[in-house]
Amino acid sequence: MTDSQKPDYHKPWCWQCQEHTHFKTITRTHHDEHGTRRRTQNVCSMCGKSVFRPAAVDFAYYGKVGGRCVWVYFVIAVICILPLVFWSIDNLAEDARALLVVGSVVVVFLIIPWAMLGWASRKYAIWKTWAEERGWQEPPKEKRAWVPR
């Protein structure tokens, strides 16, 4: 098995090529009226697609604290959105913009984060299947969790 085919939980992996390829770091600079922004991205040297460390898309890597943060975020978002929903129900007859406001808030604070979590879960599942085909055995969650140094 070549080194690029040997599963490594912490080494960047190309989702397109499905191996641990060499990658390059690209920094893009964007100038506009709000100032200058820089975005750094690791891309596969073979296909040019983004590479990610499997650990970065594994929920277990963030440990119990990360899981609790996700749940606290969604609970707070729902608690904050509920009054807005009730307000829109009362005002819907008078102003259809209320529905637009509530819909926008729900999309931004609930649906987009939920979709991102689903994306990360699918990415990790793809890598995990690939790694298990090559003999990798997933350690328990406690062993995969990030430990501060």
Q: In sequence order, what are the residues at sequence separation of 6 or more whose Cβ sits closer than 8 angstroms to the Cβ of residue 16?
A: 44, 47, 49
Contact predicate 123/57, CB 8 Å? yes
Q: Alpha-carbon distance 120 to 110, whole Å?
A: 16
Q: Tell me the chain's radius of gyration from C-alpha atoms.
A: 21
In this structure, are residues 117 and 145 in contact, taking their beta carbons and an 8 Å threshold?
Answer: no
Q: What are phi and psi of 99, to 5 degrees?
A: -65, -40
User: pTM, whole model, 2 decimals?
Assistant: 0.74
CA distance 61 to 54: 9
pLDDT tens string for the chain (149 positions)?
566 789 999 899 998 999 999 999 999 898 888 888 888 999 999 999 999 999 888 888 887 778 888 889 889 988 888 887 777 777 666 667 777 777 788 888 889 898 998 999 999 999 999 999 999 999 888 888 777 76
